[in-house]
Amino acid sequence: MYIVRTWDYYLEFLSPKPTRARVWRFFAKEYGIPLAETAAFGDANNDIPLFKAAHTAIAVKNASPEAKRAATRVSEWTNDEDAVAREWERLKGL
């Protein structure tokens, strides 16, 4: 088990086996998607392992400082401003 503080008021107790990063790698392999073609979105410390597995890691504007540091890019939008949808559209244009 590992413990991560997602926000000042939210503490998560998680199993180290099915981490988001492991699941990410599993699905990429199952669907034949190279990790170099993946992008992950997140806002909290529990997203950091996922950010390390994905090629592009986008933290939303209102993400925790730790998540922002782990990301490859920080969005100019927050969760409330539809950051994931806006960033997805931006990625599609690349």
> How confident is the prediction for the chain on average, in pLDDT?
90
pLDDT at 9: 76
Task: Provide the whole-model pTM.
Answer: 0.80
Confidence band of 6 (pLDDT split at 50, 70, 90) = confident
Residue type, 71: A
Distance CA 36, CA 33 (A): 8
The average pLDDT across 59-73 equals 97
3-state secondary structure at position 51: helix
